[in-house]
Amino acid sequence: MRPQGYNLDFTVPHGLKQETMTLIAQKLPMVALVEDQEIVLKYRVPPGTSIPQMFRLLEALAGDFGRLGVEHSLTQTTLEQVFVKFAEENPLFAGGAVGVAGA
């Protein structure tokens, strides 16, 4: 599955990641966690999701995020992200760069 649509990224203060993940799972069940770093959580918004609806949901969570000190951003998937995901999923590129043997 190639990435498309939008990404939702959260920067979470130390010690509050699990509480933030629980809140996201409850209030934004349509998003899928794609990367879990120490203080950064990256989610994929499924294609076809209404962006105005996402903004309304995020606005409704502003109080909780503010209380927790969580910062968030909603961004469109970049062409680079599409290419990286394609390379990860394509067995032709699994071994690294493709070149001419013996050259």
Instruction: Give pLDDT tens digits for 8-60.
Output: 999 999 999 999 999 999 999 999 999 999 899 999 998 888 889 889 999 99
Strand order from edge to edge, sheet including 6-11? 32-36, 40-45, 6-11, 71-76
Instruction: Give pLDDT tens digits for 69-98.
Output: 999 999 887 766 666 676 777 777 655 555
Higher model confidence: residue 2 or residue 15? Answer: 15
pLDDT value, residue 51: 86
What domains sit in the chain, N to C, each tagged with a CATH number?
Answer: 6-93 (3.30.70.260)
